[in-house]
Chain A
């Protein structure tokens, strides 16, 4: 056993990180808010060229994929990253980023589609199988103020049945893999929240000293890190299990563990990051809120943490 990144895994992750820190700066992310969160096709194709969608179609595993998705989450990259990655094995155009493929899991009390206006294809994931739908045929009401300005949403009133492209077994695997990849994005959000809050705590002075020197603030940051590191272990374990190098045969349980931990941790780190920033954390200008809002969005993908906690106990 050696449950630590090997050199190849490390260099793959560093490669993705260095691409994203050059191409997807926080300024690029913020500028996207001014265009209503419309996805940038050029960026999407570059992401495709870097391989974030095709990793597994190219022979890499879930392990490499979560390392890449952790970085995508850290950089707050918006859009149907997980959906396009999952679709890459079925649709070559999704793999290279030339088509933007979204996904919706019909939900109650309302069906909510994301990034509908930017999508080329929408996959409807139902328990009985995966169906592809022309996004233009989806009818619904566009929300004027989405919670996350980078995730435009539509309350769907009519969702076409679509054309069956994969069976129930594939849909089940997509749901499971979707959980783990989303959990990796959420892990990235935790890490970015911590970085930002730490920087602020070190530089912001009150009462003549950096606020990070006060125990009350230190403990907030220590709690964030603790949640993030437990989450990291859970996400990596779920990924390694899927790749057949794990310690559990119940891949759904490990996936649920990862998604539940990551959902709760990203929300916790998001809100605590805002708290560390004090009043400034409550402004639009400071990025702390962006991580929290994305955490709210991702918690609803592939089942929220409450759902996974319940499903986890049901399997005991």
Chain B
């Protein structure tokens, strides 16, 4: 075991750091949080810059224009971009991290030739049409129906939690193509161009007031059979391929943010006074912050273990579930502690009274989603208990 980076890894870091330090100061300011068109342009610009500099598709194979980087190099990429306060992947998230990798292993040569370069260059934005109102934790029970009619599939139904559905060009979509077989065996994976006749995209407001997610309604929407990826009714397997692309790096950026935020909280506690003494004078609070910072550092170590495992075996393994469970809980505690320290100031989502309210309150709200999105903590516990420990399934 060795936590030190190799010479090659260090030189990759330095090369990236040089480039970031030359381009970041020249970036325009970020668009308003709910200006999705503006943010698309901004995210696409950043993706194009990465492409031109040879840093696009960090985890994509070289033959498809990617960097073919190792999981460790991916970690370094995320560390350096976070350190430089570089833009996030933003609206290119689904294309670069979900749809792209799936197309790379499952799509036809024609599909790959058309879509992959456009994703890498930030020209096409993708969204995801997997979840449905009736199919969340039980995704395989999805019912959005596609019926074959000549050279088309005709789609009727609804999708939900479609991030950036209002700005995307394409949707990676799971549809029900057979209702007479066990649920996992009647699903098909389709590339659906957005804006087709019969499609209705409506913003879905989160509890924070953000409209990042959409609901998409399909009424007799015709999609060519040529847009299918994989065989008909083999979509579940195709979709699971996406998961195998996770290299333990999914939470790296936000882990780094959380570690910084927790340390900022310690500094804030030193200047916030209560009845004549600083909050930092309170041993209980110091213990809480100490505990949280130490646990975050431990999860950072687990992140590196997970990444190393992925590097060796190609899969993250149990550490991925363990990480998500522990992190969701820890991030909540950090958010709650920050809200308690900010006390009355925590009642505003934006900064007030010269305090960094937004980072902490937004972080607290974000933490509420961590125990829900991409497998609730209840589902994660079942996975840990049943698949890792081998306990019998609940009847």
Contact = CB atoms under 8 A, between A and B. Distances in A.
Contacts of A279: 131, 136, 160-161, 372-373
A296 B342 CA distance: 11
Interface stretch (A106-114, A169-177, A224-232, A237-245): A106-114
A148 B376 CA distance: 25
B179 interface: no
A112 B336 contact: no
B347 A300 contact: yes
B265 to A, nearest CB: 13
Interface string B125-154: 000000100111110010000000000000
Contact of B348 (A107, A111, A146, A289): A146
Contacts of B137: 206-207, 211, 278
B102 to A, nearest CB: 22
B284 A306 contact: yes
B207 A300 contact: no
Contact of A143 (B204, B206, B285, B348): B348
Given A109-B345, A112-B345, A300-B343, A275 B372 contact: yes
A61 interface: no
Contact of A271 (B332, B343, B344, B379): B332
- The range of chain A's interface size is 35 or more
A145 B207 CA distance: 12
Given A108-B272, A110-B353, A281-B372, A296 B347 contact: yes
B394 interface: yes
A206 B138 CA distance: 6
A103 B346 CA distance: 18
A281 B349 CA distance: 19
Nearest 6 CB-CB pairs, A to B?
Answer: A110-B353, A216-B378, A289-B207, A284-B205, A112-B344, A143-B348
A279 B205 CA distance: 12
A109 B332 CA distance: 22
B350 A111 contact: no
A155 B357 CA distance: 12
A35 interface: no
B378 A109 contact: no
Residue of A215, A278, A289, A307 with most partner-chain B CB within 10 A: A278
Contacts of A180: none
Interface string B354-395: 010000010000001101110011110110000000000010
Contacts of B376: 275, 278
Contacts of A216: 378-379, 381-382
A282 B347 contact: no
A207 B141 contact: yes
A60 interface: no
Main SS of the interface on chain B?
A: mixed
B227 to A, nearest CB: 27
A274 B355 contact: no
A37 to B, nearest CB: 12
A153 interface: yes
A211 B137 CA distance: 10
Contacts of B347: 112, 114, 143, 146-148, 151, 153, 296-297, 300
Contact of B274 (A108, A110, A146): A108
Interface in A82-104: none
Which of A275, A282, A299, A300 is packed against the most chain B CB atoms within 10 Å?
A282
Interface string B51-66: 0000000000000000
B205 A283 contact: yes
Given A146-B349, A284-B209, A300-B344, A278 B272 contact: no
Contacts of A144: 350
A206 B378 CA distance: 13
B372 A278 contact: yes
B196 interface: no
A49 interface: no
A141 to B, nearest CB: 7
A52 interface: no
A110 B355 contact: yes
Contacts of A66: none
B352 interface: yes
A305 B336 CA distance: 12
Given A147-B347, A274-B372, 8 more contacts: A109-B343, A110-B352, A141-B352, A155-B353, A206-B138, A206-B141, A279-B160, A281-B368
Given A108-B273, A145-B349, A279-B131, A304 B368 contact: no
Interface string A277-305: 01101111100010011001101100011
B282 interface: yes
Nearest to A290: B207
Contacts of B371: 275
